[in-house]
A and B are shown apart, each in its own frame.
Chain A
Amino acid sequence: MTTATTAPASRPAPTGGSPARRRRSLLQRRQARTAWLLALPFLLLFAAFTAGPVFASLLMSFTDMRSTDVRTPFAVDLAAFDNYTALFQDALFRKVAVNTAIFVLVGVPLTMVLALAAAVGLNNITRLRAFFRLGYYLPVVTSIVAVSVVWRFLLQPDTGPINQLLGAVGIGGPDWLGDPSLALPSIIAMAAWRNLGTLMVIFLAGLQTVPRELLEAAEVDGAGRWQRFRHVTLPLLRPTLLFGAVITGIGYLQFFEEPFVMTNGGPLNATRSVSYYIYDQFSFGNYGYAAAASYVLFVAIVVLTAIQFRVLRPKA
């Protein structure tokens, strides 16, 4: 609250004491009050609909609450860390954790590389740029359910266009979503295609902030195309890359709709994610256990984001 407002200037000075000082503190107090007043609606909503449930779910994760306890939510037993230990002993949870890790570790770099390539390509053309930008961005604004349904059709083993194309050149295409070893890679490919639009737009904006003079200076010094990209453009893009990595990482750690619509988590749980597992546990009525799983995911997101900040932070 350092910005001054104009209103108090016209007010009469308070009588007595050291006027200037007093007026200032009064002014500050009034400003602070106004600020709180303005922030109040948000704070109330935040407390009621965000902080409250977050805190309640944290408490819930340390109890044995089930859906059958909803009428008497306080008549549950404390479970300390039982939910958390049970979680890591559950073979299915370990499986979905590995699935999610693969999805993030393969999906995030893949999406970023594709998005960067598209952005660099678009940055170098002037004609049809708007058209391609729209084309790459369209999947982002399309409903994920519609996209998943279309991809499920594309990936059909016998009648799907992808396998028919492969068949035309003499390759017998596999059952993409029915084969436990191919289902997750298929979904990663779809997610990368769908999400590269957002990153591409962000990277394109980043690329346009790279000063032309720097690139020209490097060119004069004899740097080739790749060297200019590697040693001038990329370092300047670091903050943009960091932002892209963080938002994509957070999104991918919580991937859910793709397997929900396309595979139901199958085959053999090959595409079940941590979010899907949490969803299942909530619908089974294991509220305490599901809350514990949610907090494990939350910690994973914090850790991943912290690592990305360390690796990609701009070098001073």
Chain B
Amino acid sequence: MSRRHISAATALAAATALALSACGRDDDAGGGGNGNAAPSADITDGPATGTIEVWAMGTEGEALGDFLADFEEANPDATVEVTPVPWEGAHDRIATAIAAGETPDVSLIGTTWMGEFAQTGGLEPTPTDLFDENDFFPGPWASTVVDGTSYGVPWYVETRALFYRTDLAEAAGLEPPQTWDDLKAFAQGLQQAGAQQGIYLQPGQSGSWQTFMPFAWQNGATLTDGDAYTLDSPEMTEALEYYTSYFTEGLSQDTVLQPGALEQMFADGSIGSFISGPWHIGLVRDAGATDTFDVVPLPGKDQAPGTSFVGGGNLAVFTDSDNKDGAWKLIQYLTETEVQQRWYETATGLPSRPEAWESGVLTEDPVVAVFGEQLESTEAPPAVPTWEQVASVIDGDIEAAVRGAMSPADAVADMQSQASSIGTGLQ
């Protein structure tokens, strides 16, 4: 190394040390939109103006552009530019956009991402005079609230209910289950009536917490107390024991089904029942089970309906948006009762407003209406930045308990110890 190289290296090291010593977290909670509450004063009364850039994922993204023609007609000075974003890359794309300050005005945001993006300070708090919490289902609304402040509005929702084969249930002389004991007997009955497995419960891997947590919620378990994870409770252990009993008693298989296999096996009668969301109505009908299935709300521990999981998409406005006024007006439009009903007809997104379920198309299909009923009793996962990581811990421990690698009590204790060391990320 020549002298010149050494001095260059020293200078670089010094500069680095300087840069690093100059940084460090503020003492108060980082990001999180501190001190920028009450933005509602910025929203004007007239129609929206200017360009409103919107990102939306999946089928929503493809259908939204045409759907908004009416909005543009009502707001002639406004232009809406919708960019469809595939769900696969959406999380990283939004994160990068926030980091670079190059965000659209509005984006669809998966409910489980709210905590993380709100914590960056990239999302605007919801103007409370424009949106009334009481107009929306409570579970979905809770998914927008991070550390006490709401950062978006629920747009569409999805929840889970129990799908079952009516022909097998009739053959076994069974009514839809109301309680945990009923559900167990129900699965046994369906199996005796010819199904290979009475019920398919996801035995682990990505997303199995969405099937398991409803049982825990029904039993009174909680995920957080607002500040810390509270997974290690007797209620949680009891729920996991109940969940694993389906596998030890041979009522559900302990390996994960390949994509597409579930609806096929349900249609040919080898699976008697399963828990899933509204998208499975179409999938099951396509697989050939048109008149031989029904959907009912989840059973509760002692009475129906039991608590279910709620997910879906929220609409949020970015702090880097140039047109927050237009952005909130667009969201206001999209969450109107009638517009939500029309949106259901366009893209089958289930409305986040209870009012939209009381009339029109959503009352016509009894199978769909069941999900509206279920939405009254739901819980959302906590909107904290580390939720996805803790969810994967829960998935792993569910798998360990299902396969007998850990007792349910140990699995729950492991969930808690890992979640505690991860923390909520809210500081």
Mask of A147-172 contacts with B, CB within 8 angstroms, 1/0: 00000100011000000000000000
With A266-B205, A268-B405 already in contact, the answer to whether A68 and B31 are too (CB < 8 A) is yes
Name the interface residues of A233-274: CB closer than 8 Å to any CB of B. Answer: 264, 266-269
Which of B79-87, B374-382, B384-392 lies at the interface?
B384-392
Of B23, B96, B399, which one neighbours A76 at CB under 8 angstroms? B23
Nearest CB of B to A207, in Å: 42
A-B contact count (CB 8 A): 93
Whether the Cβ atoms of B26 and A69 lie closer than 8 Å is no
Check A152 against B204 for contact (C-beta < 8 Å): no
Do B24 and A71 have beta carbons less than 8 Å apart? no
Are A267 and B98 also in contact (CB < 8 A) when A78-B24, A284-B386 are? no
Interface membership of A178, Cβ < 8 A: yes
* A68 surroundings in chain B (CB, below 8 A): 30-31, 116, 119-120, 385, 425
Is B20 within 8 A of A71, CB to CB? no
Q: Give every chain A residue within 8 A of B16 (Cβ-Cβ).
A: 59
Q: Which residues of B contact A175 (CB under 8 A)?
A: 255
Interface string of A273-307 (1 = CB under 8 A from B): 00000001001111000000000000000000000
With A66-B425, A67-B120 as contacts: A59 and B392 at CB distance below 8 Å: no
Question: Which chain B residues numbered 191 to 210 have a C-beta less than 8 Å away from chain A?
Answer: 204-206
Interface positions, chain A 50-102, Cβ under 8 Å from B, are 59, 63, 66-78, 92
Chain B residues lying within 8 Å of A71, measured Cβ to Cβ, are 31, 98-99, 101, 120-122
CB of A266 within 8 A of CB of B204, answer: yes
Contact A70 B98 (CB under 8 A): yes
Q: Scan B383-416; emit 1 where CB is below 8 A from any A CB, else 0.
A: 0011011001000100110010100000000000
Q: In the complex, which residues 76-104 of chain B have their Cβ closer than 8 Å to any Cβ of chain A? A: 91-92, 95-96, 98-99, 101
- Closest chain B CB from A263 CB (angstroms): 9
CB of A71 to closest CB in B, whole Å: 5
Among candidates B25, B95, B255, residue contacting A178 with C-beta atoms closer than 8 Å: B255
Which bracket fits the contact residues of A? Answer: 20 to 34
Q: At the interface, yes or no: B1 with Cβ under 8 Å from chain A?
A: no
Q: Give the distance to chain B from A162, nearest Cβ to Cβ, in Å.
A: 16
Does B19 sit at the interface, judged by CB under 8 A? yes
Q: Does B304 reach chain A (CB closer than 8 Å)?
A: no
Of chain A, the residue at the smallest CB distance from B254 is A178
Chain B's interface: helix, strand, loop or mixed, by majority? loop
CB neighbours (8 Å) of A67 from chain B are 95, 116, 120, 385
Question: What residue of chain B has the Cβ atom nearest to residue A152's Cβ?
Answer: B258
In the bound complex, do residue A59 and residue B20 qualify as a contact, i.e. CB atoms below 8 Å apart? yes
In the complex, how many angstroms separate the beta carbon of A97 from the nearest chain B beta carbon? 17
Q: Indicate if the CB atoms of A264 and B205 lie closer than 8 Å.
A: yes
Q: Which residues of A contact B119 (CB under 8 A)?
A: 68
- Which residues of chain A are near B392, meaning CB under 8 Å? 280, 284
Question: How does the 8 Å CB contact mask read for A214-241 relative to B, with 1 for contact and 0 for none?
Answer: 0000000000000000000000000000
Interface residues on B, range: 35 or more
Interface string of B335-377 (1 = CB under 8 A from A): 0000000000000000000000000000000000000000000
Chain B nearest CB from A291 CB (Å) reads: 14
Which residue of the partner chain, among A59, A69, A78, A283, contacts B30 with CB atoms under 8 Å?
A69
- Contact partners of A264 in chain B: CB under 8 A: 205-206, 256
Complex contact A76–B403 (CB within 8 A): no
Given A76, A92, A267, A280, which contacts B25 in the complex, CB threshold below 8 Å? A76
Smallest Cβ distance from B121 to chain A, in angstroms? 6
A194 to B405, CA, bound (A): 32
Question: Which residues of chain A come closer than 8 Å to B91, judged between CB atoms?
Answer: 283
B74 within 8 A of A: no
Q: How far is the CB of B269 from chain A (nearest CB, A)?
A: 16
Q: Are B30 and A72 in contact (CB under 8 A)?
A: yes
B120 partner residues in chain A, CB cutoff 8 A: 67-71
Distance between B120 CB and nearest chain A CB, rounded to angstroms = 5
What B residues does A156 contact at CB under 8 A? 258
Interface centre among A66, A69, A71, A286 (most CB of B within 10 A): A71
Q: Does B6 contact A (CB under 8 A)?
A: no
Report chain B residues within 8 Å CB of A285: 95, 116, 385-386, 388-389, 425
Q: Please give, as numbers and ranges, the residues of chain A lying within 8 Å of B385 by CB-CB distance.
A: 66-68, 285
Q: A69-B31, A178-B255 are in contact. Are A268 and B403 (CB under 8 A)?
A: yes
A92 to B25, CA, bound (A): 29
Is B41 engaged at the interface, CB distance under 8 Å to the other chain? no
What are 9 A-to-B residue pairs whose CB atoms are below 8 Å?
A75-B23, A264-B205, A267-B399, A268-B399, A283-B91, A283-B92, A284-B392, A285-B95, A285-B116
The 7 A-B pairs at the shortest CB distance, nearest first, are namely A70-B99, A284-B389, A74-B23, A178-B255, A68-B119, A68-B120, A68-B385
Having A75-B25, A175-B255, A285-B116, one finds 13 other A-B pairs with CB under 8 Å, namely A63-B20, A66-B385, A67-B116, A68-B30, A69-B120, A74-B22, A180-B403, A267-B204, A268-B396, A283-B92, A285-B388, A285-B425, A286-B389
B-side residues, CB < 8 A to A, are: 16, 19-20, 22-26, 30-31, 91-92, 95-96, 98-99, 101, 116, 119-122, 204-206, 255-256, 258, 385-386, 388-389, 392, 396, 399-400, 403, 405, 425
